[in-house]
């Protein structure tokens, strides 16, 4: 069945009018025929999966043909805005979903800035894009309409130039009446760490979304229009004030996120001995990269649409206007870790510059940094030599080399062509099979965060079971790194709905915390809330299910209590696992890099820690059991039937 037939069949089931106040349309964009069809997500789907990431999974489940390849134009790329995106403070997020060209499993990445909110402002909840454009195209969206425009003049432009050119050509101002989701040369070149840029820094990053977009030949999607208030079921602004106050009163927001941004996380990680260093051969690094040393380089902070937190530090390295990368937006803790300890760089400026370069080249810093670190270790071990690198010496800490590699990989030039294949370098024949032993990836995706999870068993489980591959943003039990909470068993039990052991290096009961976080974060994505300001990720007191439930009722008129929301979070994970199962994911894939089972942490209070195979396997079994999953990691029979009934039959 072709994608046209799949869309046509689906459209017969979808309502033609909004099912609740503020619900936006789902637009099916056929690039080949330059045609747009419109419908709305049915109420039964909303009740089971809510919106945003959740309903993206409904569309992917129905439209995916797993017999194809991820870059096939018949595999859709789906953007969304959450049910509260653009409406609630700090809810400025949306996901982009498809089948990942890099990992081969679910691609589901999340971005903020202004694009998701502006989609919502235009009355759009989902953009389902499929078919390959006959020539490079960009989409203009305004007044709820989509226009197909020639992207030829913009080909070859990276993020800085593209944003300048498009704003001038379209006539508008970013963050005021223009928002974009664009790809750079890296996306055009199908680079596996290419992102879709949603702002100067914000991007849909994980799983090669840029490459997926490049395969469809869509250079940019630009949304234009004035911001406005929403017609809601009940007044929602008074409760917004309550939520904003909750955000701003939280100490981690006041004392860390608003002042230093996420780089404040570097210090505790390195002191704990859990900082991935030199491709996780080591686990601690210099104090020269502590956030306090970044302060002189930070002229200010920026933020996403209507977010009072403003957690994005800007950087200023020099006044040389000819230096394209002498200033920029960022960096985050992830980038600090990936371009500092992970590649052996111990000075701040050479760590900040790659952040600015990646922002321009449109690269996911997590995957790009990890891919380079992997190559460096292979070179260190003699598994690859100058013969494979084209004469380059891949030595740790060579900042000039790292910069060069980023440009080369974005253009697929020289050894950059190897790096551009990301985690698939062995499959593509660039590296011998032995290289997989040192690849810090799960389910084909490099680890997103800089943490070395050999000590923190809840982190380890989360990375193993995350439905998009090795990524902390799906379920990280961050509060495990908080002695005050660990030492208060009653409070901890209240947070996770039951006892969770205090010791971060124990295996028992950690599955409970991962389950609770995974449900909550999935709902957060369906809502459109930023992870940094969602309960349990950075703090126990940030907005969570209670606040989501209250504001969903005000905005949509739907009464969905916290228990039902928690179930929705579980359902979202369940559908994602059904999709992954169709893509070949099995229990044996929910694991961790070999190194963590075999090599011990060498420093700190937890020296000697590693992952015990049997303990890990038992923890995984308990996680499956409390999640309602079968031994193979998919929803068990009754729940599976329930989900399949709600979703309808998939295409294949």
Partner 1 sequence: MAVTVRLPVTLRQGGADTLTVTEPVGTIAELVDLLGRRLPGFRAQWDDSMLNFAVNDELILHRAGERRLTDDDVVEIVPAISGGAGRAPAYGVPESWSGSAT
CB 620 within 8 A of CB 515: no
Q: Cα–Cα–Cα angle for 553, 556, 558, nearest 5°? A: 55
| Residue among 275 and 363 whose Cβ is closer to partner 1 | 275
Which residues within the stretch 502-531 sit at the binding site for partner 1 (CB under 8 A)?
A: 502-504
| Residue among 295 and 645 whose Cβ is closer to partner 1 | 295
Q: What are phi and psi of 273, to 5 degrees?
A: 85, 35
Cα torsion for 414, 182, 262, 269, to the nearest 10°? -40
Q: Does position 255 bind partner 1 by CB under 8 A?
A: yes
Cα torsion for 87, 93, 94, 95, to the nearest 10°? -160
**Binds partner 1 (CB under 8 A): choice among 48, 478, 534, 551:** 478
From the CB of 193, what's the least distance to partner 1, in Å? 26
Return d(Cα 279, Cα 395) in angstroms, integer: 12
Per DSSP, the three-state class of 609 is coil
From the CB of 250, what's the least distance to partner 1, in Å? 4
- Of 180-188, 253-261, 404-412, 425-433, the window that binds partner 1 (rule: CB under 8 A) is 253-261
From the CB of 480, what's the least distance to partner 1, in Å? 7
Which residues within the stretch 529-568 sit at the binding site for partner 1 (CB under 8 A)?
A: 537-542
Per DSSP, the three-state class of 206 is coil
Other CB atoms within 10 A of residue 164 CB: 12
**Binds partner 1 (CB under 8 A): choice among 19, 486, 562, 630:** 486
From the CB of 272, what's the least distance to partner 1, in Å? 4
CB 447 within 8 A of CB 370: yes
From the CB of 451, what's the least distance to partner 1, in Å? 9
Q: Does position 427 bind partner 1 by CB under 8 A?
A: no
Tokens of 380: 């260190």
Per DSSP, the three-state class of 67 is coil
CB 89 within 8 A of CB 564: no
From the CB of 319, what's the least distance to partner 1, in Å? 26
| Residue among 184 and 534 whose Cβ is closer to partner 1 | 534
| Residue among 224 and 534 whose Cβ is closer to partner 1 | 534
| Residue among 434 and 503 whose Cβ is closer to partner 1 | 503
| Residue among 409 and 601 whose Cβ is closer to partner 1 | 601
- Of 219-227, 367-375, 476-484, 634-642, the window that binds partner 1 (rule: CB under 8 A) is 476-484
Which residues within the stretch 263-302 sit at the binding site for partner 1 (CB under 8 A)?
A: 264-265, 267-269, 271-273, 292
Q: Does position 500 bind partner 1 by CB under 8 A?
A: no
CA distance to 18, 232, 532, per residue, from 201 (Å): 33, 32, 16
| Residue among 46 and 253 whose Cβ is closer to partner 1 | 253
From the CB of 340, what's the least distance to partner 1, in Å? 17
Binding mask 590-609 for partner 1 (x = CB under 8 A): --------------xx----
Cβ-Cβ contacts under 8 Å for 161 (sequence gap 6 or more): none
Number of shown-chain residues binding partner 1 (CB under 8 A): 44
Binding mask 135-154 for partner 1 (x = CB under 8 A): --------------------
Other CB atoms within 10 A of residue 613 CB: 12
| Residue among 196 and 274 whose Cβ is closer to partner 1 | 274
**Binds partner 1 (CB under 8 A): choice among 140, 174, 297, 491:** 491
| Residue among 502 and 618 whose Cβ is closer to partner 1 | 502
Among candidate residues 243, 162, 167, the one with its CA nearest the CA of residue 203: 162
| Residue among 606 and 623 whose Cβ is closer to partner 1 | 606
| Residue among 87 and 272 whose Cβ is closer to partner 1 | 272
Q: Does position 483 bind partner 1 by CB under 8 A?
A: yes
Return d(Cα 368, Cα 375) in angstroms, integer: 11
| Residue among 71 and 482 whose Cβ is closer to partner 1 | 482
As a whole number of Å, the end-to-end CA separation of the chain is: 8
CB 171 within 8 A of CB 140: no
Return d(Cα 508, Cα 458) in angstroms, integer: 9
Q: Does position 648 bind partner 1 by CB under 8 A?
A: no
Cβ-Cβ contacts under 8 Å for 398 (sequence gap 6 or more): none
- Of 28-36, 483-491, 583-591, 633-641, the window that binds partner 1 (rule: CB under 8 A) is 483-491
Q: Does position 482 bind partner 1 by CB under 8 A?
A: yes
Cβ-Cβ contacts under 8 Å for 371 (sequence gap 6 or more): 192, 193, 409, 419, 422, 423, 425, 446
Beta bridge partners of 28: 37, 128
Return d(Cα 107, Cα 97) in angstroms, integer: 5
| Residue among 256 and 572 whose Cβ is closer to partner 1 | 256
CA distance to 280, 373, 399, 453, per residue, from 283 (Å): 6, 14, 20, 10
Return d(Cα 523, Cα 541) in angstroms, integer: 17
**Binds partner 1 (CB under 8 A): choice among 494, 557, 602, 641:** 494
Tokens of 109: 């990445």
CB 608 within 8 A of CB 624: no
Query: Which spans of this chain sit near partner 1 (rule: CB under 8 A)?
Result: 249-253, 255-256, 259-260, 264-265, 267-269, 271-273, 292, 478-491, 494, 502-504, 537-542, 604-605
């Amino acid at each position: 069945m072709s994608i046209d037939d799949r869309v046509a069949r689906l459209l017969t089931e979808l309502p033609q009018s909004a099912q609740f106040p503020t619900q936006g349309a789902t637009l099916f964009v056929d690039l080949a025929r330059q045609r747009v069809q419109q419908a709305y997500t049915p109420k039964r789907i909303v009740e089971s999966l809510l919106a945003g990431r959740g309903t993206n999974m409904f569309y992917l489940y129905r439209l995916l043909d797993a017999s194809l390849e991820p870059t096939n134009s018949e595999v859709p790329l789906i953007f969304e805005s959450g049910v509260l995106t653009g409406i609630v403070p700090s809810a400025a997020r949306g996901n982009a979903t498809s089948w990942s060209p890099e990992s081969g499993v679910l691609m589901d990445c999340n971005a903020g800035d202004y694009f998701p909110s502006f989609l919502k402002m235009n009355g759009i909840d989902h953009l389902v894009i499929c078919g390959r454009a006959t020539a490079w195209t960009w989409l203009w969206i305004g007044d709820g309409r989509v226009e197909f425009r020639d992207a030829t003049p913009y080909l070859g432009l990276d993020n800085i130039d593209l944003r300048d050119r498009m704003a001038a050509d379209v006539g508008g101002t970013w963050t005021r009446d223009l928002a974009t989701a664009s790809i750079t040369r890296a996306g055009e070149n199908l680079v596996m760490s290419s992102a879709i840029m949603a702002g100067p820094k914000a991007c849909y990053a994980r799983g090669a979304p840029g490459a997926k977009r490049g395969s469809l030949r869509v250079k940019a999607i630009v949304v234009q229009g004035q911001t406005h208030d929403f017609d809601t079921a009940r007044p929602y602004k008074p409760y917004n004030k309550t939520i904003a106050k909750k955000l701003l009163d939280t100490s981690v927001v006041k004392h860390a996120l608003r002042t230093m941004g996420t780089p404040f996380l570097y210090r505790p990680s390195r002191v704990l001995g859990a900082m991935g260093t030199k491709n996780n051969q080591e686990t601690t690094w210099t104090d020269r990269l502590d956030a306090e040393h970044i302060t002189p380089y930070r002229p200010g902070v920026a933020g996403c649409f209507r977010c009072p937190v403003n957690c994005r530090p800007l950087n200023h390295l020099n006044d040389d206007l000819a230096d394209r990368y002498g200033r920029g937006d960022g960096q985050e803790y992830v980038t600090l870790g990936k371009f500092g300890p992970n590649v052996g760089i111990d000075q701040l400026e050479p760590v900040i510059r790659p952040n600015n370069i990646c922002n321009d080249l449109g690269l996911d810093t997590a995957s790009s940094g990890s891919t380079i670190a992997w190559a460096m270790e292979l070179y260190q071990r003699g598994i690859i030599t100058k013969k494979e690198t084209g004469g380059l010496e891949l030595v740790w800490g060579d900042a000039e080399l790292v910069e060069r590699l980023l440009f080369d990989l974005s253009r697929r030039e020289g050894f950059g062509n190897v790096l551009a294949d990301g985690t698939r370098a062995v499959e593509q024949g660039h590296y011998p099979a032995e290289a997989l032993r040192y690849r810090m990836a799960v389910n084909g995706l490099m680890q997103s965060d800089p943490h070395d999870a050999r000590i923190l068993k809840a982190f380890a489980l989360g990375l193993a079971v995350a439905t998009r591959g090795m990524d902390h943003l799906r379920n990280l039990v961050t509060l495990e790194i908080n002695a005050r909470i660990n030492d208060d068993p009653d409070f901890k039990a209240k947070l996770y709905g039951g006892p969770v052991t205090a010791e971060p290096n124990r295996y028992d009961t950690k599955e409970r915390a991962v389950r609770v976080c995974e449900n909550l974060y999935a709902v957060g994505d369906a809502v459109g809330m930023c992870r940094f300001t969602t309960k349990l990720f950075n703090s126990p007191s940030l907005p969570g299910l209670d606040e989501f439930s209250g504001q969903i009722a005000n905005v949509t008129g739907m009464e969905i209590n916290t228990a039902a929301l928690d179930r929705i979070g579980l359902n979202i994970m369940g559908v994602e696992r059904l999709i992954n199962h169709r893509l070949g994911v099995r229990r044996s894939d929910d694991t961790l890099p070999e190194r963590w089972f075999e090599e011990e942490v060498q420093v700190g209070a937890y020296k000697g820690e590693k992952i015990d195979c049997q303990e890990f396997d038992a923890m995984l079994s308990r996680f499956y059991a409390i999640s309602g999953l079968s031994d193979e990691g998919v929803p068990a029979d009754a729940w599976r039937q329930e989900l399949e009934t709600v979703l309808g039959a998939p295409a294949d």
